[in-house]
Structures are given as C-alpha cells and as structure tokens.
Amino acid sequence: MIAAEINVMMPMNPPKPVRGRFAPSPTGALHLGSLLTALGSYLHAKAQGGEWWVRIEDVDRDRELPGAAESQLDSLRRFGLEWDGEVVRQSARGALYQAALDSLLTRGLAFECHCSRNDLAANHGLHRHCLARSRRPQPAFRFRVHPGCKMDFHDEVLGSQSQQVDREVGDFVLKRADGHWAYQLAVVVDDGAQGITEVVRGADLADSTARQILLQKALALPTPRYLHLPLLLDENGRKLSKSLAALPLDTEHALPALRLVWQALGQPAKAVAAAANPQQFLSLALANFEPGRIPARPSALHNMVFTNPA
C-alpha cells in the first residue's frame, strides 16, 4: 500500500481589521480644515469596511477651552460622522505614557534633560547633547536620536518620504519640563493601544511621522499606514486653523461644508449632488470615494467653487 502524500496547509494569520481615527485637540470649535480631516479619515476607513474611532488629544490642558471637546463631538454627530468604540481622552491615560517612558529610560533610549530653550537657541533649538548650565527642579525627558539616524517611509498621498532625524529634529521631547506629555509619545502609545491600522491626518503633521515610527520601533508597536491629507489655505496662504477664516462650522447647514471638503479631497462634485441631508451625502460619498484622487498639494479655499443643489 502506497502512502498518500498529504499537504497540510498551515493557517495564515487573518489580516487585521482596518481601524482609522480622528483625533482633535479641544482648543476650539471644529472648522472646515478639521472637517476635511474628519471626513477624509472616516471615508478612508469605512470604504474598506473598517472602523473609525475618535480620540480627544487633550494632554496640553493649558490650551484646552472648556466645553470644546463636547462641542466637537456634537458637531461630528450633526455632520453624520458617527464613530465606533469609546471616545478616549489623553488626559486620562497618563499611566500608559509613563509606562512607555519608563521602558525607554530603562533601556537607555530616553534620558533626563535640563536644557532650556535659551541653552539650545544657538543650535536652532535642536538637541544633540546636553548644554544645560544648571539643573531644573523638574526636567524634561527626551528620546535619544543616534547620529546618522535616517527614517524612510511611504505616504499614500505624498509618496516616498525621508527625514534625517538627527540633523532635522535632534533628540525630541517625550515629556515636557512643565509635566505635560509630548504629542509624539502620547499619539504613538494611543495608536498602539487602540489597534489603529491607518493614520489619516493633515499634511502639517507629516513631519512628525519619522519620529513616531522611531518610537513605534523602540516600543515594539506596529507601524500603521500613513496618509496625509491636503491642507485648506486662506487667501494669504495660511493654514486655515491659524486664519481668521477658521470660523466654527455651521452645523445647521451641513451640506455646503461637506460638499466643499469632499471636493478639497479631489472627489467629483457630481457624485454627491443628489444628497439632501448629511446621511445621504455620506452614503453617496462612501459609494464613490476614490483615495487615488486625493491631491498632494494644499487647497486654496478662496479658489474653490462649489454648488449646493439642495
């Protein structure tokens, strides 16, 4: 009897479900620029059958406006942007950040720093070695960037990106001398803890990506896909969030704003022309969204023309 040869297929690990997020800082009401990021991240995750989470990035309590977070969440609901999972606030997650910092300190990947801005001014604010003339009562903590550290990564809108981190950024802050957690550490820890698989955000944050990948590698966290959306600029070429044009969204008349940011994402106006309310708009937008149309260049708000057939 000849034994039959049996091929046993080893089970493959199923791919992680797509999970995107929108992470506003509660420093004011949502404006058109933040709506563009919210809609872009929502569509990119949902069009893949994934989840879309919301996180309130409120580690800097000094800049937070009372009631801003609640106002932002209410605006998202009025625009039809319903999230999955529980809304988390960074201000309640200090223990997670401390554990990450302790791990980096133990392995010599982070260090205590007493340098002030004045100490580093001659080097354009870059920290390559400690220059402090005296010890601070409460120091900052920095990530140690080794000489020659270069980070290459791919962005799905901007394409191949590269940053010479030691020369362009230097040793970067993880916890500030005033006790506030730095954005770079908090966002990396939170994305890892929440299982975020893609980071879709404004192009003004593209410069942070190399630092965040360095931290992900140091903390043995997965690196998500990155996609940086075009910024909305005012007539003076300034980012909308820093402009007088950054007025709060009119939540009572959502469709014009939704149509505008849809077109700023490079999507055709006719695809959503039949929408009579935000829910219909999102249904049509999800059916017609093409990520490949997203432009790499910023959109000048004053040059944009859109129609409201509703």
- pTM strictly above 0.85: yes
pLDDT category, 252, cuts 50, 70, 90?
confident
The arithmetic mean of pLDDT across residues 194-204, rounded, is 97
**Cβ 23 vs Cβ 194: under 8 Å:** no
The confidence score (pLDDT) of residue 308 equals: 36
Amino acid identity of 14? P
Query: Cα–Cα distance between 157 and 231 in angstroms, integer?
Result: 12
Question: Domain spanning 16-89+230-310: which CATH class is it, in words?
Answer: alpha beta
The confidence score (pLDDT) of residue 62 equals: 83
Our answer to whether residue 175 is catalytic in this structure is: no
**Catalytic residue from among 16, 150, 217, 242:** 242
Max distance between CA atoms of the chain, in angstroms, equals 86
Query: Cα–Cα distance between 10 and 218 in angstroms, integer?
Result: 31
| Percentage of the chain exceeding pLDDT 70 | 85
Domain chopping of the chain, boundaries: 16-89+230-310
The arithmetic mean of pLDDT across residues 264-273, rounded, is 97
The arithmetic mean of pLDDT across residues 30-54, rounded, is 96
b/e code 161-183 from CB counts within 10 Å (16+ = b): bebebbeebbbbbbbebeebbbb
List of residues 6+ apart from 232 with CB closer than 8 A? 32, 33, 36, 239, 240, 261, 264, 298, 299, 301
